[in-house]
Amino acid sequence: MKYMLIMRGTDESMAAMADTNFDDMLETMGRFNDELIRAGVLVAAEGLEDAAEGVVVDNSSETPVVTDGPYGETKELFGGFYILNVSSKEEAIEWAKRMPIKGPGLKIEIRRVPTIDEFPQDNKWIQIEREWREATGQL
């Protein structure tokens, strides 16, 4: 089963991380990533650029509204993610607990990533996606 570990933080925790020595952060996260690789569970991992460089497309009205970052007052920011291929939700939780970056306002949300096999196989869009996944070696 695949699980996504979504790394979230508050404005304050993200600002505190920005003050962390970059080489130290690379060392700390590199060791953790190496553990995931050696355990054979890492599928993908990415950090994200500062939210001030991002945009939000709000589709809640007929005409989408695009807002440049920073977004003013936010409660939580999405800072990066891991996708792990593990045997259970409990194993994903255990990996999240081992995340070496810790501090006030830092959280990891864990969500299962459904497989294409869980969707209606007679749907033409699922069939098109399945063909694409097979052609690109993802299935």
Q: Are 35 and 86 in contact (CB under 8 A)?
A: no
* pTM score, whole prediction: 0.83
Between the alpha carbon of residue 114 and those of residues 40, 77, 118, the distances in Å are 19, 24, 7
Cα distance between residue 5 and residue 128, in whole Å: 28
Tens-of-pLDDT digits for all 139 residues of the chain? 999 999 988 878 877 877 888 898 889 999 999 999 999 999 999 988 877 788 888 899 999 988 887 665 567 788 899 999 999 999 999 999 999 988 888 899 999 999 999 999 999 999 999 999 999 998 8
Q: How far is CA 68 from the centre of its chain?
A: 21
Domain assignments of the chain as residue spans, ordered by start: 2-56+66-114
Q: Where are the alpha helices (H) located in 6-49, listed in sequence order?
A: 11-18, 22-39
Just give the CATH number of 2-56+66-114: 3.30.70.1060
- SS3 of residue 52 by DSSP: helix
